[in-house]
Structure 1
Amino acid sequence: MAASSPEQHESFEVRTVQQEALRLQEMNRGRKLVKSLLTETIVRPVGPTLLDLPLEILTHILLRLPFTSVVICQGVNRHLYGLIFESTELQYHIHLGISGLVDNPHCDLSIAERLSLLLARERRWEGLDFDFHKVVDVIFPFKSSTATLSARIFGGVAVGGCRYMQIPSAATEEVKWREIRTEQTIVMEVPGFHEPDLHVLITTQPRTVYTNVAGPRTVHDVRVHLNQLSTGKPHPNVRRTTISFEAHELFEEPRVFMRCAGDNMVLVLRDRRGRSMSFDQVLVYEWRTGELKLTFSAPWRSYRYPLFLTTHLFLLPNVKTGELEYWQIPKSPSEPTPSQPFFLLSLPRLRSGNTFQSITPFAEPNIGPYNGSKPFHTNPRDAIAFFYVDIWWGRLNHFRLFIHRSSLIGCLDQFSAYTSLSDRPEPVPYDKWGPPVCRWLDDDQGPWLETTFGQRYVTPPPGSGVREAPLTVLDFNPIGVVKVLAAEKRLKAGVPNEGSRDTAQPEKGEHIWQLPVDNAENGPALEGRENQLPRESRSLAKVVVRPMSPLSDPDDCFENTVYSSLPYTVRSSLEKYSFDGLIPDEESILGVREDYDRQIREIQIFHYG
């Protein structure tokens, strides 16, 4: 990748401004078109218009539109404004879109009840105002390095097996720990997936093989145990409750990284010791049938965890090449089995002598069907994909990279010319795809469990020496950014926000506004509903919008300055807490406390709904 000159960055900014201008022009043309169609009879009474339809039919039509289009229609005239404002179904549709949520059609609650729960939930998250707080003692401690949280199931590996619990949704709900015991060595546990009621436990066991030529040798049997999450027993709806295979003979101590989506399971096998410097194995199974659908290898320590973009498309960060590899899983036996990625995104190039030590992605919730009982759930397509990026330069440097899962999918269309199904594709340079959709931050703490859910990221607790700190949440929901920016616009226009606390000091080139969240502009869909907002806020909110913001890189890890632009809001609680780790999920933030041996001893649950 050629060095990025100021002229190139200026050209990029010009293109970005031009694209935004075109988008606004299209939006304005759309507004004018909708308004002309709806009011045509006022100018030329040539027959019935859309507004002459019965309210039930008109509501049905609006519910089929994106929520942003419904908000635009609300501003067309009084008739539509009144219809949309008074319709519980349309208000629920709008607020689902604003919150990045998806309705659960299998829920028994009425639309009015769902809307009430949704508004209360979003108020609590915006104010970091939990509705209950629960302390859970971990009577069978396990190390934080083995702990996982998925589908509201928290668990970890302990001596002789694994233990997990479901995060409570009500203060009166009792916490129950389940246990799965095994005499084999556990190398990974994934505690929960919503739709198939699945718990995955992966073990290895050495076995001596005697041959006439080379004499005895040790091989490792890898076993993927497919259990039912609700019972802890073997899953009743799979053809093989245990998928077994033999690790490569050169592996002295196999390590496994795994993710599931839909019916597909991707496993990355690596030799933990790596004395043979062999290679990494990647295997893709259809877990319901046990069918091996794809397998390939790469140089040792190329990969860690995969990241699913769809149920048949996954991404593998490659530390050897500094690229994000896109792999397609065959949907049927008639489809060809790929031997290489078909699309590559390049990360910023490193300075000579520096190397990527690891690139670890997380994205929750996982892609796949939802079969829970809640009235709504987070849209996995809009979730933030969060990458821990470790770079070795005499010592480890930690960075955090945030990209929406939808942006990673969108790159396939935007840069389709870089796709190749025959030869290894040319990677898309970072300067082409990355700055508009990425946010890079430096990180002194390094990884501690999964710290994202949906579009929210909970910053890790401060290091040793700081006893207490507020809960701080970064929210990459673009609607939240617009809401806080709109509040600033109101203030600049002379509309006061009582009690605002402008304490943020903006950096050069940074746009920040801080205010109590209950004073934030809530958009046209909330107009007239101000009495539903909390009277007192338990957090402060600010928005960070840094167009083409340079990453702080004091050790010169990267060859060129790394730019990123993805905006986000920041909320910090007024209360301060002392924890060793913080993990968000669909409804809660978990505060974890460890002992001197990094064994988890206590979990505190802050529930927001």
Structure 2
Amino acid sequence: MVVKVTLSDLLPQILTHILLHLPFTLVVTCRRINRHLQAHISTSTRLQYYIHLGIYGLVDNPLCALPIPERLDQLLTRRRRWEDFDLDFSQHIEVPFQFRSSDTKLTPGVFSAIAGSEESHYIRVPSVPDQGVKWRQTPSENKIISPGACVYEHDLHIIVTAQPIIIDASGAGSRITHQVQVHLNRLSTGEPHSDAPQVTISFETHEEFGDPRILVECAGDNLVLTLRDRATRNKPKDQVYVYGWKTGELKLRLSAPFRAHLHALYLTTDIFLLPNSQTGELEYWRIPQSASESTSHQPFFILSLPCLRSGSTFRSIDSRAEPNPGIQPTDPSKPFYTDPHSAIAVFMVVIETAGFISPSNFILFVHRSSLVEYIDKFSAFTSRDDRPKAVPYVEWGPPVCRWFEANSMDWLATTFGQTYITPPKGEPGGEPITLLDFNPIAVARAVAAEKHRLEAKGSDDDGRGTIRNEGKTRTEGTRGVVTQTMDPLNGPDGCFENTIYSSLPYTVRSSRNKYSFDELLLDEEGILGILMSSRERIEGIQVLHYG
């Protein structure tokens, strides 16, 4: 005898367990299938928490002991505060050291800076009102080039130093290389990190750098170090080193033309992207498991940026996406974290054009998930041994990218997750903080809310209606402007060979209050307003916490 079992026959716990194995988008769809599913999903706190994690690009922290209802309440409160710019608390942090904004770095939860040349200072960004802030100091016998951190996953604080080495070339003149050291400490204690038996990674540069600049990025067990020269006399090749920080093993070493590379951008814990300003391309590199693994010294996949017209060249292309992949939370106090896969990648593109004194500055946005998905979508363009043919921008870029003209004040540290805050323009009396949100669900909700508002008023145009452009729409929504246009761009100097298009949608929100900050930084839970002295030294930090 066959016994028919319907959804309504399943125990609620079993039905919840089944639904939690589906993508959150399908769980949302299931609410429309029948009344039983709709009622179950709508009343299940666990399923509501799961859905909202997906909607807002977050991942659950399994170490957190908070009950699911409290986690859901914190999640919804945080989102509401960000959407309304409803400040949770504000806290001023004194800066008792002398350092410039160019010597600072913000990684999730940690602000660090270099004071002088042989001291690094850092603080944990406050997450609760009146939280005590203690500056920690990391001294060094050698010149500190760059700080870094990998907080959530490893409690790791990184200090990169460089010491000049004079080499006598026996009559041909002396050469100067550098001994680079990467110091690996625990952020919480300042002591050497116990997971790294070789707590200092050391190597000598193969190029003669007059004034080395070293950029470090960490994800999972890997460190990517990009070395380039600030000076221009010798024009040494850029160097890229990839180390396993827990073993000290050098997994990959690359050379590139002078000033081709800046920050590496992790796509996964074993694939990183290097923008190449010499070729105008985004190169994909795979990290071998060990140095003994056979690997090519060519990228395995390349995306091309728009072609430039004759007389224009890429001066620099920098990149950032926060947080990095590989998060394995260690802090039980935080119920959830931002999903690295859904984060937005930001590229700062500087183009020089013959006949123009000032360069043209552009900023490019594209989701990290799109950059990863294109490896499979354009698999015919991948190559293991030879340099692959680049995918032209017109084939990959317009549907997933958004280009803006920028200025030299735009800074990569103003992005986190799927959001970006525009730098202050220095308006007298202060100005609102403006936030761009590239979350596709936030865009869809804003569009739906505007449609509902117009239908309720029985009007298609009341001064806040839709503006048609290139077959798409730009809608002014209840919480800001929603842009869905296929916008043309060629820059003030006409530096691109052809007009470029991009259509990644986003929403814009602005704070009601005005602020007088010299610079802004964006973190997972809030905004850091930087106050500068007349000598461009940081004299204070204002934390605006939203949750």
Give the TM-score of the pair, scaled to structure 1: 0.85
CA apart distance, 1:172: 2.4
2:31 maps to 1:74: yes
Q: Which residue of 1 aligns with 2:362?
A: 399
> In structure 2, what is the Cα distance between the partners aligned to 1:218 and 1:511?
58
Q: Which residue of 1 aligns with 2:405?
A: 442
CA contact 2:529–2:541 (8 Å) conserved in 1: yes
Q: Which residue of 1 aligns with 2:415?
A: 452
2:423 maps to 1:492: no
> In structure 2, what is the Cα distance between the partners aligned to 1:606 and 1:505?
33
CA contact 1:203–1:224 (8 Å) conserved in 2: yes
Q: Which residue of 1 aligns with 2:498?
A: 560
Q: Which residue of 1 aligns with 2:434?
A: 472
2:58 maps to 1:95: no
State which drifts further: 471-480 or 228-237: 228-237
Counterpart selection for 2:81 from 104, 124, 131: 124
Q: Output one character per residue of 1:504-524: Cα deviation in whole Å (capped at 9) or x when no partner.
A: 99584463333444xxxxxxx
Counterpart selection for 2:515 from 559, 564, 577: 577
CA contact 1:388–1:446 (8 Å) conserved in 2: no
> In structure 2, what is the Cα distance between the partners aligned to 1:325 and 1:187?
25
CA contact 2:346–2:412 (8 Å) conserved in 1: no
**Aligned-partner residue type, residue 300 of structure 1:** F
Secondary structure at the counterpart of residue 102 of structure 2: helix
Q: Which residue of 2 aligns with 1:420?
A: 383
Q: Output one character per residue of 1:524-575: Cα deviation in whole Å (capped at 9) or x when no partner.
A: xxxxxxxxxxxxxxxxx221111x2212522101100010010001100111
**Aligned-partner residue type, residue 391 of structure 2:** V
Unaligned runs of 5+ in 2: none
- Of Structure 1 and Structure 2, the greater helix share is in 1
CA apart distance, 1:337: 2.0
The structure-2 alpha-carbon separation of the partners of 1:193 and 1:338, relative to structure 1 and needing over 3 Å to count, comes to farther
2:417 maps to 1:432: no
Q: Which residue of 2 aligns with 1:196?
A: 154
2:230 maps to 1:272: yes
Counterpart selection for 1:358 from 316, 339, 347: 316
Counterpart selection for 2:115 from 158, 161, 164: 158
Secondary structure at the counterpart of residue 450 of structure 1: helix
CA apart distance, 1:55: 1.5
Q: Which residue of 2 aligns with 1:247?
A: 205
> In structure 2, what is the Cα distance between the partners aligned to 1:54 and 1:191?
46
The structure-2 alpha-carbon separation of the partners of 1:494 and 1:193, relative to structure 1 and needing over 3 Å to count, comes to same
User: Percent of aligned positions with the same letter in both sequences?
Assistant: 52
> In structure 2, what is the Cα distance between the partners aligned to 1:504 and 1:210?
73
2:536 maps to 1:593: no
> In structure 2, what is the Cα distance between the partners aligned to 1:54 and 1:250?
70
Secondary structure at the counterpart of residue 326 of structure 1: strand
Q: Output one character per residue of 1:146-188: Cα deviation in whole Å (capped at 9) or x when no partner.
A: 1111021001110230111001111121111111112321111
Secondary structure at the counterpart of residue 368 of structure 1: coil
Counterpart selection for 2:338 from 373, 378, 381: 378
Secondary structure at the counterpart of residue 195 of structure 1: helix
Q: Which residue of 1 aligns with 2:484?
A: 545
2:288 maps to 1:330: yes
State which drifts further: 316-325 or 361-370: 361-370
CA contact 1:442–1:552 (8 Å) conserved in 2: no
CA contact 1:145–1:449 (8 Å) conserved in 2: no
Q: Output one character per residue of 1:443-484: Cα deviation in whole Å (capped at 9) or x when no partner.
A: 12443351100000011001x454411011000000000100
Q: Which residue of 2 aligns with 1:147?
A: 104
Q: Output one character per residue of 1:271-321: Cα deviation in whole Å (capped at 9) or x when no partner.
A: 221312221111111111110001121111111111000111000000010
The structure-2 alpha-carbon separation of the partners of 1:84 and 1:340, relative to structure 1 and needing over 3 Å to count, comes to same
Counterpart selection for 2:297 from 336, 339, 348: 339
Q: Which residue of 1 aligns with 2:144?
A: 186
CA contact 1:381–1:405 (8 Å) conserved in 2: yes
State which drifts further: 471-480 or 157-166: 157-166
Secondary structure at the counterpart of residue 582 of structure 1: strand
CA apart distance, 1:368: 1.4
> In structure 2, what is the Cα distance between the partners aligned to 1:502 and 1:593?
38
CA root-mean-square deviation? 2.0
CA contact 2:150–2:218 (8 Å) conserved in 1: no
CA contact 1:470–1:572 (8 Å) conserved in 2: yes
Counterpart selection for 2:220 from 237, 262, 269: 262
Secondary structure at the counterpart of residue 483 of structure 1: helix
The structure-2 alpha-carbon separation of the partners of 1:74 and 1:495, relative to structure 1 and needing over 3 Å to count, comes to farther
Secondary structure at the counterpart of residue 486 of structure 1: helix
**Aligned-partner residue type, residue 402 of structure 1:** F
The structure-2 alpha-carbon separation of the partners of 1:351 and 1:216, relative to structure 1 and needing over 3 Å to count, comes to closer
CA contact 2:436–2:506 (8 Å) conserved in 1: yes
2:326 maps to 1:388: no
Which residues of 2 match residues 513-532 of structure 1 at below 5 A? Answer: 513-517=475-479
The structure-2 alpha-carbon separation of the partners of 1:502 and 1:118, relative to structure 1 and needing over 3 Å to count, comes to farther
CA apart distance, 1:214: 4.3
> In structure 1, what is the Cα distance between the partners aligned to 2:264 and 2:10?
50
CA apart distance, 1:348: 0.2
Which residues of 2 match residues 102-121 of structure 1 at below 5 A? Answer: 102-121=59-78
Q: Output one character per residue of 1:208-256: Cα deviation in whole Å (capped at 9) or x when no partner.
A: 3346564654331111111111112222221211111111252222221
> In structure 2, what is the Cα distance between the partners aligned to 1:163 and 1:428?
43
Q: Which residue of 2 aligns with 1:16?
A: none
> In structure 1, what is the Cα distance between the partners aligned to 2:181 and 2:97?
24
> In structure 2, what is the Cα distance between the partners aligned to 1:401 and 1:501?
33
**Aligned-partner residue type, residue 474 of structure 1:** L
2:61 maps to 1:61: no
> In structure 2, what is the Cα distance between the partners aligned to 1:73 and 1:470?
41
CA contact 2:94–2:539 (8 Å) conserved in 1: yes
> In structure 1, what is the Cα distance between the partners aligned to 2:495 and 2:96?
43
> In structure 2, what is the Cα distance between the partners aligned to 1:249 and 1:456?
38
Q: Output one character per residue of 1:412-466: Cα deviation in whole Å (capped at 9) or x when no partner.
A: 011000001121100000000000000001112443351100000011001x454
